[in-house]
Amino acid sequence: MEILWTFIKVFIIVNIVMLHVAYAVYFERKVIGHMQARLGPMHVGPHGLLQPIADGIKLFFKEDIIPSNADRPIFYIAPVIGVVAALGSVAVIPFWRGFSIADINIGILYILALSSIGTYNVILAGWASNSKYSFLGSLRSSAQVISYEIAMGLSLVGVIMLAGSANLSDIVEAQSGGPFIVSQFIGFFVFLMAAIAETNRAPFDLPEAETELVAGYFTEYSGIRWGLFFMGEYTGMFVMSALASICFLGGWHGPDFWIFSHVPGIVWFILKVYAFIFFYFWIRATLPRYRYDQLMSLGWKLFIPLALVNIFITGVIKLL
């Protein structure tokens, strides 16, 4: 019976996440459109609401073109790795008290491990495409992820120290008296920047920089395989937004006064996640892309030292 209940939870959560991913693309196009004084998608359905479904059908039936000199087995499997790694990360996220697919003691380490594995889809796609643009994009991504994975891991050490656990549910419960963002502001800033770089989003989207690399690591992809890269990227955004909400904003906890105390925990959690998603879109519409040397300098000379300073300060506070 427990196995059946787990399967039901997996089915429900994966379908809800996929629906959210499809409409996150629509939401992004609308938000950026309004920020740039235009309307965004308007024609497919009322206010363009059916645009993601139309795009999905179009991608599914589009011709799948493979370069003649590509490494076919790796070319086929690369997009799938990203989606599987991103969806696998959703398994440990507690959406409200007592509800997650797997409540494991090393939830943070599990998500960090899968985000590292998710990078292999970019590296393998660039290598297997047998194109210099794709290959340069994958090389950039591997260097970028090594740099920012370190910063992200270090930024979460302070949270683990304060909560006394790497279990995501325990971290949320440790914030019942107040969110960690107050005492972990430096860690929160480093995590936020590292999450943008980890998911290859603007202004750190150097692996797919169209100004010099055409489309980067997925230049040679088309049809549904091209769509799988987007599914992996947007699912990764949801995972990182959920992790930021859990570790720094108290997860399902909301204000405990007046009518706010009667709002269900899942509502607070979704609102926080969508606030981070909106931040992703806002940054993309506002900031220009960094040069590659600036990106790497920021990672090694600013974010990693800041994360180490945060760990030191947290340790001193814990001792005192």
Q: Taking the domains of the chain in order of start, what are their residue ranges?
A: 68-319
Who has greater pLDDT, 259 or 268?
A: 268
Q: Residue 186's CB: how many other CB atoms inside 10 A?
A: 17
Distance CA 197, CA 56 (A): 26
Please report how many Cα atoms fall inside a 13 Å half-sphere around the Cα of residue 45, on the Cβ side: 10
Q: What is the pLDDT of residues 31-40, one digit of tens each?
A: 989 888 888 8
Kindly state the average pLDDT of the residues 193-213.
77
Distance CA 178, CA 36 (A): 37
Distance CA 78, CA 120 (A): 7
Burial class (CB in 10 A: 0-12, 13-18, 19+), 292: middle
Q: Say whether the peptide bond before residue 52 is cis (omega within 30 degrees of 0).
A: no
122 three-state secondary structure = helix
* CB of 109 closer than 8 Å to CB of 166: yes
Residue 164 structure tokens: 């006394």
Q: What share of the chain is helix, strand, coil (3-state, %, to 5)?
A: 70, 0, 25
Residue 60 structure tokens: 């599914």
Residues with Cβ within 8 Å of 122's Cβ and at least 6 positions away in sequence, in order, are: 78, 82, 137, 138, 141, 142, 200, 207, 217
Task: Give bridge partners of residue 272 from the DSSP assignment.
Answer: none
Q: Which of 209, 195, 215, 190 is nearest to 279 (CA)?
A: 195
The residue type found at 298 is L
156: confidence class by pLDDT, cuts 50, 70, 90: very high
pLDDT at residue 191, rounded to an integer: 94
104 secondary structure, DSSP code: -
Distance CA 82, CA 20 (A): 17
Distance CA 213, CA 206 (A): 9
Distance CA 95, CA 266 (A): 6
Q: Is 213's pLDDT higher than 70?
A: no
Q: What is the pLDDT of residues 79-125, one digit of tens each?
A: 888 888 888 888 888 887 777 888 888 889 999 999 888 788 888 88
Who has greater pLDDT, 272 or 215?
A: 272
Q: Is 318's pLDDT higher than 80?
A: yes
240: confidence class by pLDDT, cuts 50, 70, 90: very high
129: confidence class by pLDDT, cuts 50, 70, 90: confident
pLDDT at residue 256, rounded to an integer: 77
* CB of 81 closer than 8 Å to CB of 125: no
Kindly state the average pLDDT of the residues 64-78.
81
- Radius of gyration from C-alpha coordinates of the chain: 20
Q: Is 212's pLDDT higher than 90?
A: no
Distance CA 59, CA 260 (A): 42
pLDDT at residue 274, rounded to an integer: 92
Distance CA 179, CA 35 (A): 31
215: confidence class by pLDDT, cuts 50, 70, 90: low
Q: For 9-23, 231-245, 268-282, which range has the lowest pLDDT when averaged over its residues?
A: 9-23
Q: What is the largest CA-CA distance in the chain?
A: 65
147: confidence class by pLDDT, cuts 50, 70, 90: confident
Q: For 77-86, 181-190, 259-268, which range has the lowest pLDDT when averaged over its residues?
A: 259-268
